[in-house]
Amino acid sequence: MIEITNLTKTYPGQTALSGVNLTLAPGEIVGLFGENGAGKTTLIKCILGLLPYKGQITLDGEPITRKNIACLSFATAEHSLFPRLTPAGHRDFYREHFEKFNGRRFDGLMDFFELPKNKPLSAFSTGQKNQFEVILALSQGADYILMDEPFAGNDVFNREDFYKVLLGILEPHETVLLSTHLIEEVSGFVSRAVLLKRGQIIGDADTSGLDERGISLIDYVKETYRYRPDRVGKALSDITGKEDDHA
Amino acid sequence: MKKLSDLLPPGADPKTELGKSAAFASVFLLFWSMTFLADFSSAYDDLFTYIGREKILLEGAVMERFSDLMEGRFAGFWPFLLCLAVTALFHYLSFTRSHSIYVMKRLESPLEFYRRVFAFPLLTLAAGVLLVLLLTGIYALIYRFVTPEAAYRGLTLDFWEMFL
């Protein structure tokens, strides 16, 4: 279990995260939602120890260090790949350095996405890099798979296929924390939604609970964010001087 | 024993890296050796005079000291060191620019990252030091055995002055 207690992260002149408390239990698929600058990426990077922070983050009661960090994997739209290495080279590197590397899953996903195995990553398209980034994160053998906007640049069919495959291959103990803007797309995939706004958690709900209440994920997000549907109409009316027909 | 590719950023071609180092070493080897031989032969020629075609050792002539001949000989070692530092920097940047440093930070051993950044430049440095020692030995042998006995002044050497 990952436990985040009173996590605060500040950049010069700006507070990115403020007193965040969050627990990620084994087997959860958690959607992390929030507007740009809400602190999603910062939160994930703090968990991974890529950024210094105040507060406490533990994994199964222990601080996250080199000893247990292999339990976490990371897929990011920034791409954490070795550009001159081929996928086969990445597989060898991961197999050498991550004890629980799942070669079968790696090969299966490579075949599914029809990615070339012997071409350097620098020659891949952005979409292919996204796919490969996710393949590595899923194959590392980590219990906690952290994904930060992993599908930015992929087409909708590709993403849908991916969600289906992901649901099919995840083991019951594997936890996914998925930061994305594609709320509607992942609504059938995540089991829990965590909403960040200006560095604070403003919502945390089980999707099954929302279903029981008859609330869709997107409505929950809009409600929690106090989304104002008349905002667009008012703006258009102000700009064009015409009466609002869009409300 | 680690493979050479394990001492470089993943994906870097060991043959290319070795080729670059060998080319670099060859340039220094040639430059140092040619300048030494030119200086040595000039000092050697100063020991003699010519009567017609006959070459005669000047009376009381002494060979320039070996330490003087070697002074500043390997001053090119500093640019070489700078190149190695730049190589290490490029290795480091290859991880940060590609964000693959995120992967390196998830490895159990932190040494893996440092090895892939610094090991090759340090090995090249060791090879460079060996080359300098080897060349110094060869130059000393040339000095010892080519200098006429009467003009020979021993093999004193200030190690650091060779680099200044």
Write down the pLDDT at residue B24: 84
For residue B2, tell me if it sits in a domain: no
**Chain-chain contact of B106 with A82 (C-beta, under 8 angstroms):** no
Neighbours of B103 (CB within 10 A): 24
Number of domains in chain B: 1
Taking an 8 Å cut-off on Cβ atoms, the answer to whether B10 and A73 are in contact is no
Give the per-residue pLDDT at A225: 83
Residue B46 is assigned to a structural domain of this protein = yes
Position B159 scores a pLDDT of: 82
ipTM passes above 0.85: yes
Q: B105 and A69: CB-CB below 8 Å?
A: yes
A34-68 pLDDT, tens digit each: 988 999 999 999 999 999 999 999 999 999 999 99
The tokens of A195 are what? 């909403």
* Residue tagged 């159990």 (tokens): B108
Q: Which of A155, A109, A99 is closest to A117 using CA atoms?
A: A109
Amino acid at A157: F
Neighbours of B31 (CB within 10 A): 11
pLDDT 10s digits, B111-155: 999 999 999 999 999 999 999 999 999 999 999 999 999 898 888
CA-based nearest distance B152→chain A, Å:
57
Within-domain flag for B70: yes
Nearest by CB to residue B10, choosing from A69, A74, A82, is: A82
Q: Residue A121 contacts by C-beta under 8 Å, 6 or more apart in sequence? A: A81, A82, A83, A84, A85, A86, A87, A90, A129, A132
Contact A97 B107 (CB under 8 A): yes
Residue contact A72–B106, C-beta within 8 A: yes
Query: Alpha-carbon distance A31 to A35, whole Å?
Result: 13
CA distances from A81 to A61, A68, A123, A156, A245 (A): 30, 21, 12, 23, 48
Q: Is residue B99 in some structural domain?
A: yes
A84 touches chain B (CB under 8 A): yes
What domain range includes position B22? 13-162
Say whether A79 and B106 touch across the interface (CB within 8 A).
Answer: no
3-state secondary structure of A17: strand
What order of strands is seen across the sheet that includes strand A29-33?
A: A72-76, A144-148, A175-179, A29-33, A192-197, A200-206
On whether residue B135 sits in a domain, the answer given is yes
**A178 Cβ neighbours under 8 A, 6+ residues apart:** A29, A30, A31, A32, A147, A150, A186, A190
Which of A79, A82, A118 is the mutation pick for testing B, counting most B CBs within 10 A? A82
Minimal C-alpha gap between A133 and chain B (Å)? 11
Instruction: Specify the pLDDT at position A240.
Output: 81
| pLDDT tens by residue, B91-107 | 999 999 999 999 999 99
**CB-based contacts of A123: which residues, under 8 Å, 6+ apart?**
none
A50 touches chain B (CB under 8 A): yes
Q: Which of A30, A146, A16, A24 is nearest to A77 (CA)?
A: A146
Tokens of A104: 């079968």
| pLDDT value for B1 | 46
**Closest-CA distance of chain A to residue B110, Å:** 8
For residue B155, tell me if it sits in a domain.
yes
Look at residue A244 in the predicted model and tell me its pLDDT.
54
* Domain assignment present for B6: no
The reply to whether B144 falls in a domain is yes
Average pLDDT over residues B2-25: 89
DSSP string, chain A: -EEEEEEEEEETTEEEEEEEEEEE-TT-EEEEE--TTSSHHHHHHHHTTSS--EEEEEETTEE--TTTGGGEEEEETT----TTS-HHHHHHHHHHH-TT--HHHHHHHHHHHT--SSS-GGGS-HHHHHHHHHHHHHHS--SEEEEESTTTT--HHHHHHHHHHHHHH--TT-EEEEE-S-HHHHTTT-SEEEEEETTEEEEEEEHHHHHHTT--HHHHHHHHTT--THHHHHHHHHHH-SPP---
pLDDT along chain A (247 residues), means of 10: 96 94 96 93 96 96 95 95 96 96 96 92 93 95 95 78 85 94 86 94 93 90 80 78 60
Would you give the DSSP letter of residue B30?
A: H
Given a contact cutoff of 8 angstroms between Cβ atoms, the answer to whether A17 and A198 are in contact is: no
